[in-house]
Amino acid sequence: MFATKEPYYYIILIMLLAVMFLTYVISRSKLGYYLIAMAVSSFLTALAGTFYAQFSMYIHLKSIISSGQSRGTIKV
């Protein structure tokens, strides 16, 4: 927890650069591209959610996604 929001800006900027680099490396990889992309996507989603929880200091399902969206996501 930081006193100002400025450190969050730098943290998210570093995360953005890391994600861009990782995307570049995966796109050039000859390994199982789909499997690697799914694993990295899951990891980055969890990382972003953790960052958001730390930034807002509160997480509630209705503050992130509406019930209509969640039902639509489950149906798909």
For residue 56, being part of any structural domain is answered with yes
For residue 1, being part of any structural domain is answered with no
Cα-Cα-Cα-Cα torsion 52, 58, 63, 65, nearest 10 degrees, comes to 50
Residues of the chain with pLDDT below 70 are: 32, 58-76
Beta strands in 1-76, from DSSP E residues, in sequence order: none
For residue 35, being part of any structural domain is answered with yes
Q: What is the pLDDT of residue 2?
A: 80
User: How many domains is the chain built from?
Assistant: 1
CA distance 34 to 43: 14
Q: How far is CA 29 from CA 6, 18, 19, 36, 45, in A?
A: 35, 16, 15, 9, 21
For residue 17, being part of any structural domain is answered with yes
Q: What is the pLDDT of residue 32?
A: 65
Range of the domain at 56: 6-75
pTM: 0.58
